[in-house]
Structure 1
Amino acid sequence: MNIDRRAALAMGLGMLLPVPAFASPTAEMETLLAETPWVGDGEPSRRHVYVVFAPWCPVCKLLFQRTRSARDGVQLRWVAGGNRDDHAINQNLNVVSDRSLDALARVFRQEAMEDLTKNLPAVLRLTQSDMAIKEMAKRINFIGYPTLIFADSRGELQSIAGVPADLDAVFAQVGPWGKE
């Protein structure tokens, strides 16, 4: 193999140039959502599904009720959204402040919640959640609540709006996602 001086020089200079790191859409979405205040539902697992919900949404409540049974080792990570009025904002503030499954269940049972509208840490967390949802909506076909977001067994980003007819089939598709 003959390499002339010009080709060798070009290869050497090319190796000195920085190479941009291109993250996959799945990795970018995982980073975005992992840093969002989510509520864990189930045992921590590399196989997880982010569920963007609205506290006023009856379909979200239905999904919550249908996912109370076994999920084949898949953890759900509920992300608060749908801040359409003061009541919904306060419900979401309670969820992101407490970050517990109990707070999320109280929202879906429509129980009275503490007024956290002046709780700055909760307001900041909810703002972070809103910003993440807006960024996420640019990257996937976000059409409403609830939206399930996960990496499949091939590492491809998937999103499903609504309550799938066969949740077991959806959970069987979920593959490991970068961070636990």
Structure 2
Amino acid sequence: MPAPISEERLSRDREALLDAAEALFYERGIQAVGMDAVRAAAGMPLKRIYGLFATKEALVVAVLQRRDRRWRASLAEYVEQREDPRERVLSIFDWLERWFAEPGFRGCAWINAYGELGSASPAVLAEVRSHKQAFHDQIARWVEAASDAPAQPVCLIAEGAIVTASITGDVKAARAARAATEALIG
């Protein structure tokens, strides 16, 4: 009988699996990637994968949850380096521009997941909604500290910049969004 797998090993395997799945799903799309491709990229047997995540849907949700934590933490770290509340709001768009310029940028992972699975997967839809609410709440805190302007338009401007940059490949969408936000918050 094989020895049980340690918690440390399970944790490493889980992270390796999430890394592989995230890269594949983001690059190719969730539905275009079969579990055999995930297995090959992660370098682990399907039995171990399904031991970690009982379904592909559960794996997708875990990928989105982990990406949310990293993505929003990176944004917060960048924005909160600024002391001036107004500059914090405007720096959201500087951060977005840097993200748009990254090699392999394919837009918002949550919008992409929603486009593929949102109506068919309540679990994915819930995760997409959770991310969007958290992102909007994050922006709203910065806007409220900087201005009497409503936060919702800034959220919509940010979302629009993300979609525009994804579709056009033009990182300057972030600059236009920054200018619109600057006019809005005064």
Q: What interval of TM-score do these two structures reach, taking the shorter chain for normalisation? A: under 0.3
Structure in which a larger fraction of residues adopt helix: 2
Q: Larger relative CO (CA 8 A, sep 6+): 1 or 2?
A: 1
Structure in which a larger fraction of residues adopt strand: 1
